[in-house]
Chain A
Amino acid sequence: MIDSPLFYASLTYTPATLGFLGCIKPKFVFPIGVVTLLGIAGFTLRAINIGFETSYKLMWVGGIEFSFDKFTFPLLFGACISMLIVFGLYKEKLTHYFYQICLALLTALTISFSAQDLISIYIALELTGFCAFILIADRNDDKSLFNAFQYLIGGGLAMLIYLIGVVQAFQFSGTFLIADLSTETTPALCLIVAGLLTKAGIFICGLWVPNIYSHANSQSAAILSGCVTCAGVAPIARLSTGMQPIENSMVVIGVLSGIVAALYAVFERDDGRALGWSSVSQLGFAILSPTYACVYAMQHGICKTLLFSTLTNPKTNDDNSQSQNNISDWILVATFIIASLSIVGLPYTAGFITKTWLKGDIPMEARLIASTASLMTATVYARLIWNRIKNSKLTLKTFLTPKWIAVFDLFRPKSIILATSSLLLIAYGFSYLKAYYPANIRDSLIALVLGSFLYTSVAGLQTEKFVKPVTRTLDLVGAPFVVAALLLANLFYLKI
């Protein structure tokens, strides 16, 4: 593979350059941007397959070190694929600076996935926050502007908390490198991790996630769930690989996040918010194991992008075409179902493989609770699939008597993208055949069936009375303090 520093520097900064050029010549740069994304996706896929690792220094000797390794490549691949799916599906509906922002976002994400020092991560996360802010405000009504305000003030405060932690660590060790962090400076570690958790949207820090996903445009929500929340996952995985206390605390935080958010998702009746809570819960699982966190986050990001893109039927411009659109509607619903099943972890989908890896790497007690939470995830997605089929107004009759002209729908770009991505999700399920031993398959099938039964028992609950959405700004802003205090208590006294 390629080892030149120049190549990796250009891999990092080409998307942002294209994004800023795209502000001048939007139509001309768009195809170049798509080709670049395809190229990065192909390169990262090859690097994942051969387990390639490298590192380089920007500005050569004495410069800032970046490393491209097992944490970087899966997440970068996931981000590229999410962006390609969104660009393909919403090409006509993108506002005129949407893809430029996405390309700038990709550069910020690459830096945060590959940076080795805390200050580069800080700058990358702030840039990610600004891009996400513009994507949230893309809908341009008062409520989405207020949501963007909450995100930015919460993220800004979390990053200031992070900076205070960084300066404490600097006072002790004299450098900003992650490798030189020491467990001696416990409060500093707590502050740093609390800031990162807010950006990743995990547990109490992730209270902003459901509000924003449910109200943003579906293309913005797809990008936010697929790429932006992954930005915090890679630094957390890097931190917890090196330090045992952090890894142990992450098991506590991850399990809490998985259970609490899954419960909220079960009782939530709005589909967008339920997807948001499920995202919090899944990323909580991801941080349980530092080795497989990035692969799990990648699979979850791609599935969530597909889910948000197919959650509602896109409105067609001409109304008389509704009778002809049967096949593309079927493809939308089928993609939604496959992506949901992949998150639940049905055998022969991508989610099953990543879940098997993750379960093999975490402690026994955490595995038990993780199985419980996957049961609740199955309940959530049983409801979502059922709602989606009900809302689509498709009947078996329309499927059995297709209009012949509708066959051409199959060759539209949108249908091809959706069909290819769902087929690839299934094909990825065959990539690691060692996962298919009987006990594992039995576990996942039992979780799925029990989850569907559980759905029928909670379907009639009037949950509006006791589950209120968290929308107060103070709750969103104060969450990092609570998590920092919790971590501090854990590291000093509880020592789980």
Chain B
Amino acid sequence: MNYKAIALIPVIILLIIGCFGILNSKSIINSLFSLDVIDTATISIFVLIAASSGSQTPILSDVPRYANYSDPYPQAIILTAIVIGFATQSLLCTIALRLSRATPLLRYEDLEK
């Protein structure tokens, strides 16, 4: 087993925890936290895979110091995903705020009537 696969194991565990949480949550707030955990796990997978070729800063130069650089492409793309995840979280929090006026506990069993 190579070391890249071993590095991915904690992230996969984090992903499973998030999925378990979102499928077993009893209230809106639990779902929000679980979604954030899955979001973090996805981002970590991207970063780990980008860093598999090397971990130095990707700067173009003739100095051999920067030869072993990490792949900048997935990192640039995951920035967008971070922003989108943040936007989703904030919209969901807004909804939770509005719904909490009528049902302060925000439990699904109260809301799904």
Contact = CB atoms under 8 A, between A and B. Distances in A.
Interface of A: 119, 122-123, 126, 130, 133, 137, 142, 145-146, 148-149, 152-153, 156-157, 159-160, 163-164, 167, 170-171, 176, 471-474, 477-478, 481
Interface of B: 15, 19, 22-25, 28, 31, 35, 38-39, 42, 45-46, 49, 74, 77, 80-81, 84-85, 87-88, 91-92, 95-96, 98-99, 102, 108, 111-112
Given A145-B98, A149-B99, A153-B92, A130 B22 contact: no
B79 to A, nearest CB: 11
Contacts of A159: 84
A154 to B, nearest CB: 10
Contact of B99 (A130, A142, A171): A142
A132 B31 CA distance: 20
B45 A126 contact: no
Contacts of B102: 142
**The 7 A-B residue pairs with the shortest CB-CB distance in the complex, in nearest-first order:** A156-B88, A149-B95, A126-B84, A160-B42, A146-B111, A163-B42, A119-B77
Given A123-B84, A176-B77, A473-B108, 6 more contacts: A145-B98, A145-B99, A153-B35, A160-B35, A170-B49, A472-B108
Contacts of A171: 49
A123 B85 CA distance: 11
A473 B31 contact: yes
Contacts of B42: 160, 163-164, 167
Contacts of B38: 157, 160
A157 B87 contact: no
Contacts of A149: 28, 92, 95-96, 99
B99 A160 contact: no
Considering residues B25, B31, B49, B99, which has the most beta carbons from chain A within 10 angstroms of its beta carbon?
Answer: B31
Contacts of B46: 163, 167
12 contacts: A142-B102, A146-B99, A149-B96, A152-B88, A152-B92, A156-B35, A164-B42, A170-B74, A473-B31, A474-B24, A474-B25, A474-B108
A122 B99 contact: no
Contact of A130 (B15, B87, B96, B108): B87
Nearest to B103: A142
Nearest to A170: B74
Contacts of A170: 49, 74
Contacts of A130: 87, 91
